Amino acid sequence: MNYWLLKTEPDVFGIDDLAALGKLAEPWNGIRNYQARNIIRDQIKTDDLALIYHSSCKNVGVAGIGKVVSEAYVDPDQFDPESVYFDAKSSPEKPKWFRFDLRFVKKFSAIVSLPEIKSNPELANMVLLKQGRLSVQPVKDNEWKLICQLAQRKS
DNA sequence: GCCAACGTTGGC
DNA sequence: GCCAACGTTGGC
């Protein structure tokens, strides 16, 4: 099983929105970056776990945990001219973009903030800190464990 | 295939 | 709202 970090803007869709769905899954759509696409298409598997990271907001950081409940599948939004995620260069024969379904697992009692992550030497190699703009990224076992511990400590 | 111009992400 | 980082586009 693998660990991931998924960025999302809480003003659009955050941990509370995922929690509100309960056991229903949310399609993690709209990823339009090739590096993130390749990770989704080739690496993300059912039962993997993901840190939900809130970006572009007041309290930036990891807000909770979600679980992958599908394999990668073709994102239908890319064929819908009405969708903001429409891509005229993609076709059903040769789809460019993929998505997967995510289910709520838990919300941290407090955000594990970006400054907190930055100040922890054991987290210095997180992709989050190395590569600012990747919205789907791998998390190492020890990083996962430590962030969960930091979250636990707040409760 | 290079690279300048442009667009987007995302922290602050 | 600013701007640095960096991905994408398109002319040549």
Could you read off the pLDDT of A66-115 as tens digits, one per residue?
A: 999 999 999 999 999 888 899 988 989 889 999 999 999 999 999 999 99
Q: Does residue A131 carry a pLDDT above 80?
A: yes
Answer yes or no: is A36 CB < 7 A from strand B.
no
Separation in Å: C2 C1' and A46 CA: 40
Q: For chain A, which domains are there?
A: 3-153 (3.10.590.10)
Q: Does residue A12 carry a pLDDT above 80?
A: yes
Answer yes or no: is A132 CB < 7 A from strand C.
yes
Answer yes or no: is A33 CB < 7 A from strand C.
yes
Nearest to residue A49, comparing CAs of A21, A78, A69? A69
Which whole number is the average pLDDT over A128-145? 95
